[in-house]
Amino acid sequence: MNAEFLGALSDLERDRGIDKEILIQAIEAALISAYRRHFGVTQNVRVQVDRQTGEPQVFAIKTVVEAVDDERTEVSLADAHRDNPTLDPGDVVEYNVTPSSFSRIAAQTAKQVVMQRIREAERGLIYQEFSSREGDVVSGVVQRVQGSTDAAGRDLADLFRGADSHQRLFVDLGRTQAILRPADQVASEDLRSGERVRAYVVEVKKAARGPEIYVSRTHPGLLKRLFELEVPEIHDGLVHIKGIAREAGYRSKISVWADDPDLDPVGACVGPQGKRVQAIVNEIRGEKLDIIHWDPDPAVLVAHALSPAKVVSVDVDGDTRHARVVVPDYQLSLAIGKDGQNARLAAKLTQYKVDIRSESQAGGGAW
């Protein structure tokens, strides 16, 4: 360790925001352990790094006593008076016990401490960056768990070993990697290593080995953010997303509203020649997407939500949030959808229990 090393610490402070004094104090604490380990001593010691030259010194700390019981921690009053006649029993004195070879050990230890602090600082910066992006969309490159390591060199297979670890995917975000758990993967998607995808940041956790960033391809928030990114009217607050219902990989419904009656919110989302919505559909790999006009009237909203089916009438009960819907006979299967999907999504979107009957069923009182 020397003045050049201290200069490097000053550069770290300036470039990475790592406090130089805190680094030196951490080095001093580490040198105490290094001294004891290399020289096999157990007495109380203090290490001080000269702030000007960078040279480390080791001081043995001893208590002045009348009669010495433990030479490692005590010094006799007679011996102490040879250096300082004013000392009394109970006073604490220090003796320089720096070994001649200690500078080499100190340099190795300091390098280890600095590298560890740099890694910790990097992890802290990554956590700050991505914790502020919860609820946002990130873009990265898909990687498999096998053989994957993160920016800190951690083996991700070991870090997340478990019954389903082989199913986890990792998305390389550049400075770090995000975790795409099985539940957050779209069943119909076959994401491959090297493939670039967008994902929604669900949660960022602090962990001992660095921040854990969990992302999702199934979260409705992904759809919301994609619309905000693709549709300027939504970004600018002219068009509002009122609700989203999603069955990832199959079909989604989104309701939109514009305060300006002259602005068509659905048309704004679709875009010229359908380019805006097509960009979103491409990102969600062909998932079907219904964009409907939100309406403050629940009956109208439920009718819109059952699109593309045509509705004859809607009778809503606001207290029970129950909607009875009548559709033409030939539209019944379309209104319900395959395996009830269309009706189920309409119910999620409107927060109404939707009961659908054909005209012939309703006419016969078949409710």
For residue 231, the domain's CATH number is: 3.30.300.20
Are 252 and 349 in a shared domain? yes
The predicted-structure confidence for 175-212, as pLDDT tens digits, reads as follows 899 999 999 999 989 888 899 999 999 999 998 888 99
Are 253 and 354 in a shared domain? yes
- Domain count for the chain: 3
Are 194 and 243 in a shared domain? no
Domain final residue, candidates 101, 127, 153: 127
Are 238 and 328 in a shared domain? yes
Which of the four pLDDT bands, split at 50, 70 and 90, describes residue 163?
very low
Residue 221 phi/psi, 5-degree rounding, is: -60, -30
Q: Quick one: pLDDT at residue 210?
A: 87
Are 54 and 141 in a shared domain? no
d(CA 318, CA 299): 10
Are 168 and 257 in a shared domain? no
The predicted-structure confidence for 88-112, as pLDDT tens digits, reads as follows 999 999 999 999 889 888 889 988 9
Q: Reply yes or no on whether the pLDDT at 367 is more than 70.
A: no
For residue 41, the domain's CATH number is: 3.30.1480.10
DSSP β-bridge partners for residue 199: 138
Angle at CA of residue 166, ends 161 and 172, nearest 5°? 90
Comparing CA positions, the residue from 218, 128, 197, 205 lying closest to residue 159 is 205
Q: How many CB atoms lie within 10 A of CB 123?
A: 20
DSSP strand pairing (177-180 vs 239-247): unpaired
Report CA Rg, the chain. 34
Comparing CA positions, the residue from 239, 222, 226, 248 lying closest to residue 134 is 222
Are 334 and 205 in a shared domain? no
d(CA 364, CA 367): 9
Alpha helices (H) along the chain: 3-16, 20-39, 77-83, 102-131, 156-159, 220-230, 232-235, 265-270, 275-283, 298-305, 332-336, 341-350, 359-363
Are 227 and 350 in a shared domain? yes
Are 195 and 257 in a shared domain? no
Average model confidence (pLDDT) across the chain: 90
Are 107 and 168 in a shared domain? no
Are 356 and 237 in a shared domain? yes
For residue 180, the domain's CATH number is: 2.40.50.140
Domain final residue, candidates 216, 236, 268: 216
Are 118 and 192 in a shared domain? no
Domain final residue, candidates 189, 216, 243: 216
Q: Reply yes or no on whether the pLDDT at 12 is more than 90.
A: no
Q: Reply yes or no on whether the pLDDT at 164 is more than 50.
A: no
d(CA 46, CA 97): 10
The predicted-structure confidence for 242-275, as pLDDT tens digits, reads as follows 999 999 999 999 999 999 999 999 999 999 999 9
- Residue 255: which domain range? 220-363
Q: Quick one: pLDDT at residue 204?
A: 96
pTM for the predicted model, two decimal places:
0.73
The predicted-structure confidence for 283-301, as pLDDT tens digits, reads as follows 999 999 999 999 999 999 9
Total H helices, total E strands in the chain: 13, 15
